A and B are shown apart, each in its own frame.
Chain A
């Protein structure tokens, strides 16, 4: 089957999940159904990543009696007053991100589209930055270049050639669904929905406040990069960074021998809360 039609089928299956969820919501309000909003353009890979996350969330949920639904909105203005999502995934500019966070106080808001350092200076709000910051990528590259001075590598959150830590499996699943390689935004969208779903089944709650509390304090997320991921005080997800050169993953940061260990995730772009 051609890649385009494969992607259409995958999108259709995601859309269908949402469609059927709506019909069942009309029949009876279902306490076990969890709504996640996606604010951003469906043309961005973050949407496909989030849709992949939804497929996997529902695969986990079916064993534990939870159904997840992902609803896309083009902008923050479209969020309805009566809307009570468990969380929001945002792939937009800084204004949109802020607007969503202010419209839904206390609701986890995942930033999957921006790597700006400036928006990571605030601590203690409801924004969770899934993408690594520019500072984290700078530090990753600088650690790498300490050992490989001639390298012209790039530092990325994800790459379609990632193999270790079951990276192959995640890349294969995404390729099968959408017929294209997984990139940084797609990984972040996937990770946001997946960690939210895992938090829902662990807390057995879809209360946004409880979820935000767990995400900020108790998360042990497997982002398929070999490390236990959790959030810093400023809402930034601690994570390894992939070092990519010549279209292939050649290493990962923290770089062993430069950082204390591969687990020393705070050696990458840490920001102290004021």
Chain B
């Protein structure tokens, strides 16, 4: 009885702490709230807990203010654009975020030449395109914003607030984006057309990789410091599974049929295949090279080959996607992290962060056919095709 009273008193004192903190911690609150969570919950959660919460929408005024504050793209850079793409269709261009260059490099895949550089803001990392291809989104970690680029004009068109330290995101077929908030242990769902926040979901520490199932019913968020894949159901935004994987999972991808997910573990030096109907790990392959710090994972168009960016092994590792047997590797530049495949599957683009370059791989031969110098520390890549 005494203990219970004491606990109640402590809870009251703690909630006073939380209340006091709130005004100053709009940007830093969630992690603090989580400290209290285990105590406030009387019984340990034995089942995955739903924790979606709707947060207030970003005001229109704020969105406008941030768009106005965005750096202007220079006229010279815009003019550097090659012939404009056919109206309505995708540009075919390759867009690369330069984390330390604070820019996006635009590459013409026909010539493998950089045809434009867009100053987007501070620390651009994750990149993705809208389902209709009309916009490219870029997560600006330092700024706590998402930049929106017009791929045809190669111009920054607006920015909206995403909360602190957005790292990577996935674009849902319905157009919403699912962002990993690295410092807050949350996944945030935004409508990028309006800048409105639709949901916030509690996940593990240092969330990074995001993968959206092809049918849009599930989203995976990896938590690097909690070693899990968190599966969020759409549209209700509940956690339906938390799957323990190798140490420091950084990225995940779905097979086209949605049955499998492949996830890398950077410190574990391995790739896991997970059955997305049972949420059980199906196969694990250790890369077996000490330097291999796997990051992005990508399936070939025919779903038979899995490409894994090997980090400081400076290689792309090639796996049989069914047996998970290692088939070989392709040497690329230093500290390779990001991967993107052309729509026809013939070209794989890799971001070689330590070499400030992109490598272009011909997937028929699994050979590098070009390297393209870009900005400082390229991180993410997407093909607008």
Contacts and interface: CB of A to CB of B under 8 A. Distances in A.
Which interface residue of A8, A26, A60, A201 has the most chain B CB atoms within 10 A? A60
Contacts of B312: 262
A138 interface: no
A5 B20 CA distance: 10
A33 to B, nearest CB: 7
B308 interface: no
Given A59-B34, A63-B45, A262-B312, 7 more contacts: A17-B38, A32-B46, A59-B185, A60-B228, A62-B45, A173-B31, A221-B247
Interface string B19-44: 01100100010011011111101111
8 contacts: A10-B35, A22-B3, A24-B42, A62-B37, A169-B182, A170-B225, A222-B224, A222-B266
B60 interface: no
B230 interface: yes
B377 to A, nearest CB: 12
A12 B204 contact: no
B181 to A, nearest CB: 11
Contact of B10 (A16, A26, A262): A16
B269 interface: yes
A160 interface: no
Contact of B183 (A6, A12, A172): A172
Contacts of A172: 183
A24 B224 contact: no
B37 to A, nearest CB: 7
A63 B226 contact: yes
Interface of B: 3-4, 6-7, 10-11, 13-14, 17-18, 20-21, 24, 28, 31-32, 34-39, 41-49, 182-183, 185, 204-206, 224-228, 230, 239, 242, 244, 246-248, 266-269, 290-291, 293, 312
Give the dominant DSSP class at A's interface: helix
A228 B267 contact: yes
A20 B224 contact: no
Interface string A167-181: 001101100110000
**Which of under 10, 10 to 19, 20 to 34, or 35 or more describes the interface residues of A?**
35 or more
A58 B49 CA distance: 14
Given A12-B10, A30-B44, A59-B205, A176 B3 contact: no
Nearest to A33: B44
Contacts of B269: 228
A60 B44 CA distance: 12
Contact of A166 (B14, B225, B228, B230): B225
A67 B10 contact: no
B34 A228 contact: no
A85 B230 CA distance: 30
A62 B7 contact: no
A65 interface: yes
A169 B36 contact: no
Given A9-B14, A228-B247, A63 B204 contact: yes
A61 B291 contact: no
A15 B10 contact: yes
B20 to A, nearest CB: 6
A56 B225 contact: yes
Interface of A: 1, 5-6, 8-10, 12-17, 19-20, 22-24, 26, 30, 32-33, 55-56, 58-67, 166, 169-170, 172-173, 176-177, 198, 201-202, 220-222, 224, 226-228, 261-263
Contacts of B4: 23
Contact of B268 (A22, A220, A261): A220
Contacts of B42: 20, 24
A8 B18 CA distance: 12
Given A23-B3, A62-B41, A261-B291, A222 B267 contact: yes
A10 B36 CA distance: 9
Nearest to A265: B290
A1 B3 contact: no
Contacts of B206: 166, 169
A263 B291 contact: yes
Contacts of A227: 267
B228 A63 contact: yes
A184 to B, nearest CB: 20
Which interface residue of A62, A169, A176, A202 has the most chain B CB atoms within 10 A? A62
Nearest to B227: A198
Contacts of A60: 204-205, 226-228
A222 B46 contact: no
A251 B44 CA distance: 42
Contacts of A66: 44
A13 B39 contact: yes
A170 B206 CA distance: 9
Contacts of B246: 220
Contacts of B10: 12, 15-16, 19
Contacts of B244: 64, 201-202
A156 B21 CA distance: 33
A228 B242 contact: no
B204 A13 contact: no
A243 B54 CA distance: 44
B34 to A, nearest CB: 6
B224 A166 contact: yes
A56 B224 CA distance: 12
Contacts of B183: 169, 172
B14 A59 contact: no
A185 to B, nearest CB: 20
Nearest to B18: A9
Contacts of B11: 16, 20
A12 B7 contact: no
Contacts of B38: 17, 58-59, 61-62, 67
B360 to A, nearest CB: 28
Contacts of B36: 13, 16
